[in-house]
Amino acid sequence: MTSFLSARLRSRSSNIPPLNVKGAKKRQKLSLRDKVVSVNDENMDISPGHDKGKKIRKNSENHSVYRGKENVNDFGQRRKEFPDTKKDGVLSKIPRKVKAFGKSDLQKAVLQKRPFHDKGTRASRSSFGDVFSPVPQTANDTLPMEVDHPSLVIRDYMIRIPPGVENIDANTYDIFHCPHYAQDIYHYLQTVERHCVIPEDYLEGSDVTSHARAVLVDWMIQVQMHLNVSQQSLHFTVKIIDRYLSLQKVSLSTLQLVGISALLIATKYIERFPPEIDNLCHLTDYTYGPKQVLSMEKIILKEMAFNVNLPDSICYMDRFIHVEKSNIREIELMARYILDLLLTEMHMVQTPASLLTAASIYVSRMLFGVDEAWSCGLAYYTRYAEADIRPVSCNILGILSKAPSSRHQGARGKFSSTSLFGAISRHAVLQTSHLFSKDFKL
């Protein structure tokens, strides 16, 4: 009698036809989700959308997929049934969509008549149907950080512009300069460049010497002018060459191939239209073919693990040079000329690119007699004090004094153009007598 009443209660809650005690009529087979709802209705409260769900399921039972007699789909093909197993008198039928929640755990939930909670889902403990709609976080979890939080106070103090320093991003309306995030971006670049330091002895044990490297870089400066690519592409090319030489030993016969392949990678990364591969092969007098260039390009990228995030000196120049507006044209040309001269110097490879840029601007301002060579604004935006750049500046003065008699005249010839660079490499302030005069001191 008790089993009969329980069967009547289950059928009434889940809209199941009543059981025939005499056994003349077999119980209608149900899907697992209907049985779960019946268990849920027996032990728990009915959710608001339960009545609507029952109507949808009732209509779907008339579909060919749910027909017991006609086990075919809409295309007339015979449908494969799911494996049926009986445990303790309860039919366990697992649809494919429910398998993602874990077959064994779901079966146990049905057999033990308890709600199933998936490990990767925050489900409510009030009803089983909440598994399919995860509970949102509480209001306390989504509240924004308070304005007076200690970490925000510290960050606001660190990024605050000191008194007397002009905010160079305040009047910048060019979206490509990212005025709202510019300072954070350059701080990030200065962090990245310290993780990409090339060791001092990276050419030790290789056929490539410092002289061979200088010859290649001097030739690359002339190639940059011939192909009319940007100065940043040139400096990025040299970065890639040094990075590859520090990772792989290269013979002298393939050094030029490494150079033009690195130039191809750099121009693809920076330029809008990179040069044609056939033009690069023509510059080598067809010593290498297009297939060799493409093959070396793949080898370089694989050796570098496709990590081409190498900050160069020119990307810092575009920002640092606009901190102070005094005589900016000549100072910028002189600083760019100094950076090109430093490319052939192997002992300057280990110096961070931002420090080289800051030192070149500092020397340029000293050469043109600016009253305050290193202002508070330059110290704030470059993150270097004057004491940090003095040792590098002394090395730059020595390189400038030796430039007229150097074997490598690529940079000096490039900046001797009057129309493009105002013949800055032959300026009067670069005379040896002026560089080492008593009035000019670092």
What pTM was estimated for this model as a whole? 0.64
The Cα–Cα gap between 375 and 373 comes to 6
Answer whether residue 426 is part of any domain. Answer: yes
Task: Note whether 49 and 43 are within 8 A (CB).
Answer: no
User: Are residues 76 and 113 both part of a single domain?
Assistant: yes
Answer whether residue 140 is part of any domain. Answer: no
Answer whether residue 164 is part of any domain. Answer: no
Q: Quote the pLDDT of residue 168.
A: 82
Task: Note whether 177 and 322 are within 8 A (CB).
Answer: no
User: Are residues 349 and 425 both part of a single domain?
Assistant: yes
Domain that holds residue 406: 313-435
Answer whether residue 60 is part of any domain. Answer: yes
Answer whether residue 184 is part of any domain. Answer: no
pLDDT tens for residues 71-89?
555 555 555 444 444 444 4
Q: Answer left, alpha or beta for residue 243, where phi above 0 means left and psi between -120 and 50 means alpha.
A: alpha
User: Are residues 279 and 363 both part of a single domain?
Assistant: no
* Among the listed residues 215, 260, 254, 212, the one whose alpha carbon sits nearest the alpha carbon of residue 240: 260
Out of 283, 303, 323, a domain closes at 303
Counted domains in the chain: 3
- Tell me which residues of the chain have a pLDDT lower than 50: 13-14, 16-17, 19-33, 35-50, 52-58, 60-70, 80-103, 106, 110, 113, 115-145, 147, 152, 155, 438
User: Are residues 342 and 299 both part of a single domain?
Assistant: no
Q: How many CB atoms lie within 10 A of CB 372?
A: 11
The Cα–Cα gap between 399 and 44 comes to 85
User: Are residues 348 and 382 both part of a single domain?
Assistant: yes
pLDDT tens for residues 220-251?
999 999 999 999 999 999 999 999 999 999 99
Answer whether residue 234 is part of any domain. Answer: yes
